[in-house]
Amino acid sequence: MPAWPRYLYSAALYVLSPLIGWRIWREQVPTYSRLQRLGLEREPRPEGPSIWLHCASVGEVRAAKPLIEALLSAYPQHCLLVTTMTATGAQQVQALTHLSPNLRHRFLPLDFPGSAKRFVRHWQPALAIMFETELWPNLLHVCAAERIPVAVVNGRLSARAFARYRRSPRLMAQALENVTWLAAKSDGDAERFQTLGVPASRTQVVGSLKFEITAPDKVWEESERLRKAVFRPAGKRPIWVAGSTRDGEESHVLAAHRALRKTFPEALLILVPRHPQRFDDVAHTCEQAGFAVARRSLKQPVMKDTAVYLGDTLGELGMLYAAGDVAFVGGSLVPLGGHNVVESASLGRFTLCGPSLENFDDVAAPLIEAGALSSVANAEALGEALVDAFSDPAATAQKGAQGQRVVAEERGALARTMKGLARFL
């Protein structure tokens, strides 16, 4: 296949490099060198074989956690290098480093030819694993040139992403030619990847790794402490959680909370914005809306008049979901495709979401069918759904239990994925 599509792509990256550089400057953790973005490494490569797993951001790292644990357990002689694009993703990986001294994190280098080549040649992984939809043409090309097998796991292509990739058919066909094995999460995803250029012979539908999520004991212990000692020290109050909310969504969530408090005046909202750089702005938004706010990061107490508990910390979303009675998953009342609805369902919480859920439609379908997940059209409908949920707590708890059952029944993708990866290790 001719190389010119990749050359044109690389030229476009160089033209856009000032904008890309600004993004890198923003997405940074102080303890990391920005030179990693250019494939420059200050530390020597660890001795022995390595496996490289790339996850774009915090959501992908959370979804990949069972896979990370399985790889560390199955291949203890390997260094597991996890790369991310974002600072929040980096912090999420840092929170997992207690799992093994063999777990390392780096920022993914920019997909310039030189950066990609330096990174891959330094680490020389025995296997490169791309999580979901991370398809970087130059990185994939260098892996193929270095004879490093590439696996795409939990392979996902939403209709929106598929339409975007189809605008560059030759570039994508050239990039996907370098994929050794595609572990798609659904038949629809497999078909879209094949349309772009992955041969059917290299494709296997294994199911979604998002169903593999399990909460450790400490999540239940801390959530129960919060429920009894912090949120409900003097009786029962309705508690709902709005997790992974995005810019422009908090106003809808607060409007729904205001409607809920007309029927249940003591109702408490646990609000967890998706991005930490927005924590202060969201706190200000809540206060401007007239709600008394307690911030978790500041260890502020929850008083009787506290209406919003702001979960402005990292790595605690699952615990905060468990501390509530009903969950709303953000990124869905704004047209962003939604976020992972399995996490709250796995914790036995009846879950609500907005109409934009195309990024998770396959995992949402069995939950909706079981009545464990319900979609609402807008803030008014969200408020009405919350009132209904808290008006019949027994039925709401039963819906949450149904969600746990569905998640348990849908598990199995991890074992199939590990079996497929074993061929290359």
Condensed to tens digits (0 to 9), the pLDDT of residues 284-305 reads 999 999 999 999 999 999 999 9
Query: What is the value of pTM for the model shown?
Result: 0.86
Q: What is the CATH number of domain 217-410?
A: 3.40.50.2000
Whether 4-205 and 217-410 share one fold: the answer is yes
pLDDT (mean) for 182-203: 95
Beta bridge partners of 309: 270, 294
Active-site residue identified among 60, 69, 212, 250 = 60
CB atoms within 10 A of CB 115: 22
Report the C-alpha gap between 364 and 231 in whole angstroms.
Answer: 30
CATH architecture entry for 4-205: 3-Layer(aba) Sandwich (3.40)
Give the pLDDT band of residue 395 (cuts 50, 70, 90).
Answer: very high
The pairing of beta strand 308-310 with beta strand 50-54 = unpaired
The pairing of beta strand 373-375 with beta strand 293-295 = unpaired
Question: What is the reported pLDDT for 127?
Answer: 98
Q: Which residues contact 140 (CB under 8 A, 6 or more apart)?
A: 150, 175, 176, 178, 179
Of residues 243, 234, 263, 235, the one with CA closest to residue 340: 243
pLDDT (mean) for 398-407: 97
Q: Where are the domains of the chain?
A: 4-205, 217-410
CB atoms within 10 A of CB 159: 13
Question: What is the reported pLDDT for 22?
Answer: 74
Question: What is the reported pLDDT for 20?
Answer: 75
pLDDT (mean) for 201-206: 96
pLDDT (mean) for 16-37: 77
Question: What is the reported pLDDT for 234?
Answer: 59
Whether residue 60 lies in the annotated active site: yes
Q: Which residues contact 228 (CB under 8 A, 6 or more apart)?
A: none
Give the pLDDT band of residue 1 (cuts 50, 70, 90).
Answer: low
pLDDT (mean) for 120-132: 96
Residues of the chain above pLDDT 90, percent: 80
Give the pLDDT band of residue 236 (cuts 50, 70, 90).
Answer: confident
